[in-house]
Amino acid sequence: MAKVKFFSGKSLPLEMHKVRIVQKLFLPPVEERARLMNEAGNNTFLLQNRDIFMDMLTDSGVNAMSDLQQAAMLRADDSYAGSETFNRMSAKVREIFPGFPYFLPVHQGRAAENILASAYVKPGDVVPMNFHFTTTKAHITRMGGRVEELIIKEGLEPVNDCPFKGNFDIPRLEALIQEVGPEHIPFVRIEAGTNLVGGQPLSLENMRAVSALCKQYGLRLVLDASLLQDNLYFIKQREAACKEMTIREITAEIASLMDIIYFSARKLGFARGGGIAIREKAEELHMKEFIPLYEGFLTYGGMSVREMEAITVGLDESMDEDIISQGPQFIAYMAEELHKRGVPVILPAGGLGCHLNATEILPHVPHEQYPAGALAAALYIAGGVRGMERGTLSEQRNEDGSERFAELELLRLAMPRRVYTLSQVEYAIDRVEWLYKNRHLVGGLKFVDEPKVLRFFFGRLEPIGDWQEKLVAKFREDFGDSL
């Protein structure tokens, strides 16, 4: 992908695949979009897929499969126990993560988190990590543990030129280990890439430093590899010492630093499922008993055999630079085009999606009126584009009921892999730019129904004032009878 140059000198990401199955899309008129957004409680999770033109909610379980994945699904060996399909999947995990002889299947990433937390976290424990993910934190706190985030300070700055914003702050990690004592740290967790700060990567060098500290203090090191494919691409592109390494070699080197690797195969592997790769027999024995309890028998873990076959091929494809470069290159294109148009985005672009900085786009919307949530509702009205709030709405209130304000108020526009074409991405850029020009019209949101746990999934909100009517009127004025 990166090796093809345009004669015109244009710098465009070029797809190294062709599309052979398509799905028709619909774009409801703007008045309808405003009505539908309100029917969905101004929460993009509650929209119906049929009403969405570009679904940029997530890259989880919605990536396009390859012909080879589809073909592999046909030869799935369906049996409750001991299927060849499972043997093929576990062999592939062992192949890409050398030194991990044991593999436990789970139905998705958070199931692995449930098992890890159930097996290792005790009340009062502390789990250091570069940054939390919503479900990770929920499982650790459910077991009475606490999460400590130790990302470098550059990671929380919306714009700078740091190539690895997901890196651990190593001195802070060592200080924390000394402060709480290694006996209260069941494991250290690396999230590569780092979802909630914009899909930002860690360097291999940083992972080596975390691993060295863990060895020094006798700590278990766990990798959340759900977003690893983007991180691998960034290491290859941005880390001088890794320029000559293949993606497989970088993966093997990362694996050599870890004790446990878990992943959501809704992301890594372009399918749906997950797993836990384990280095030591004793650890496998410790976690194994939870699999039949929560997931299913040890040779399917809640996954369908068809999905397992697709994951096996998908993991292989994740080792192919042509394939894994598509997402980050589309994301970089979108982020850089928006930046050129003056729209505040997270830079450098990370993996997963293009992240709009709602704090800067809507400075007039107070933090407690959820600027990132308001921006998500406004963008659906502006263009039928569904993003995901990644800010205060995605946090849980403090024990005393006060808001826990997020460090970054982001609207994430995820880029499902191999799904949208560049002209569709251009459309999304166009609508974001229009919204940015009319940002003064956008107001805040307030809860009308607020669940206590994971409120961003089911909570319902309403606009404060009549800003949505004004936005629709301005759309009509600018676009005439266009959808």
Chain residues binding ligand F0G by CB under 6 A are: 58, 60, 108-110, 133, 135, 191, 195, 224, 226-227, 264, 266, 274
Catalytic residue among 270, 420, 427, 456: 456
Beta 260-264 vs 221-224: how paired, if at all? parallel
Which residue out of 77, 94, 134, 208 is catalytically annotated? 134
Which of 266/418 has CB closer to ligand F0G?
266
Q: Indicate if 80 belongs to the active site.
A: yes
Instruction: Output the smallest distance, CB 346 to ligand F0G, in A.
Output: 15
Measured from the CB atom, the residue of 93 and 365 that comes closer to ligand F0G is 93
Q: Determine the residue with CB nearest ligand F0G.
A: 109
457 flagged as catalytic: no
Tell me whether residue 466 is one of the annotated catalytic residues: no
Say which of 3, 6, 20, 80 is annotated catalytic.
Answer: 80
Give min distance, CB of 314 to ligand F0G, in A.
Answer: 14
Smallest distance, Å, CB 475 to ligand F0G?
Answer: 28
Nearer to ligand F0G, 108 or 357 (CB): 108
Least distance in Å: CB of 136 to ligand F0G?
Answer: 6
Per the annotation, the verdict on 267 as an active-site residue is yes
- The minimum distance between CB 126 and ligand F0G, in angstroms, equals 19
Q: Known catalytic residue: 51?
A: no
The residue among 135 and 438 lying less far from ligand F0G, judged by its C-beta, is 135
**Annotated catalytic residue 390:** yes
Catalytic residue flag (residue 134): yes
Catalytic residue among 390, 417, 418, 439: 390
Pick the catalytic residue: 133, 370, 420, 427?
A: 133
Residue 224 or 409: the one with the smaller Cβ distance to ligand F0G is: 224
In the complex, least distance from residue 109 CB atom to ligand F0G, rounded to whole angstroms? 2
Based on CB atoms, which residue is closest to ligand F0G, 83 or 264? 264
Minimum distance, C-beta of residue 184 to ligand F0G, in the bound complex (Å)? 23
Three-class SS of the chain:
CCCCCCCCCCCCCCCCCCCCCCCCCCCCCHHHHHHHHHHCCCCHHHCCHHHCCEECCCCCCCCCCCHHHHHHHHCCCCCCCCCHHHHHHHHHHHHHCCCCCEEEEECCHHHHHHHHHHHHCCCCCEEEECCCCHHHHHHHHHCCCEEEECECHHHHCCECCCCCCCCECHHHHHHHHHHHCHHHCCCEEEECCEHHHCCECCCHHHHHHHHHHHHHHCCCEEEECCCHHHHHHHHHHHCHHHCCCCHHHHHHHHHHCCCEEEEECCCCCCCCCEEEEECCHHHHHHHHCHHHHHCCCCCCCCCCHHHHHHHHHHHHHCCCHHHHCHHHHHHHHHHHHHHHCCCCECECCCCCEEEEEHHHHCCCCCHHHCHHHHHHHHHHHHHCEECEEECHHHCCCCCCCCCCCCCCCEEEEECCCCCCCHHHHHHHHHHHHHHHHCHHHCCCEEEEECCCCCHHHHCEEEECCCHHHHHHHHHHHHHCCCC
Comparing CB distances to ligand F0G, the nearer of 108 and 206 is 108
Active site residues per annotation: 80, 133-134, 224, 267, 390, 456
